[in-house]
Amino acid sequence: MSRKWIYIDVNVLYYFFTAHPKYGEGSRELIKNYAGRLATSALTAWLLYVLTRNEEVVEAVRDLTTLLPLDAEVLNRARSLAKPRDFEDRIHLATMQIYGIDTILSNDGDFDNAGVHRIPPRAK
């Protein structure tokens, strides 16, 4: 039996790594609850590096998640999607579609009308 992946968005990981005052604890809970099942795009690791300038964060993302490739298939699928509005979010949605993932841990409401189930982090 294969495990069912849960996609984790950049914002949840960012809140976790930066101990965000409002969403840090809720993000930690989500990561703990879905440990061993988390997947995200390689784009996430790069974005977290850009946001934090900390290579150890990239290592931690690799340890916490299964990193899925950002390749031509993902980019082509993302370009064909009408929603979400932001191209970065369409890359995440395209990755989810290609890998058969239907649930995302995210604080981004743009995923609410994108055909996936969104679980936001609990606010403090």
The residues, any chain, with a CB within 8 Å of residue 4's CB and separated by 6 or more, are 37
* Binding site as annotated, residues: 9, 89
Question: How many beta carbons lie within 10 A of that of residue 42, not counting itself?
Answer: 18
Query: What span, in angstroms and rounded, lies between the C-alpha atoms of 50 and 110?
Result: 22
Go through the domains of the chain in sequence order and give each one's CATH number.
9-108 (3.40.50)
Alpha helix segments (H runs only) across the chain: 10-17, 24-33, 42-52, 55-64, 72-80, 87-98
Give the pTM: 0.95
* Binding site as annotated, residues for Mg(2+): 9, 89
Per-residue pLDDT reduced to its tens digit, 21-63:
999 999 999 999 999 999 999 999 999 999 999 999 999 999 9
Per-residue pLDDT reduced to its tens digit, 60-119:
999 999 999 999 999 999 999 999 999 999 999 999 999 999 999 999 999 999 999 999
Give me the residue label for tokens 């061993």. 36
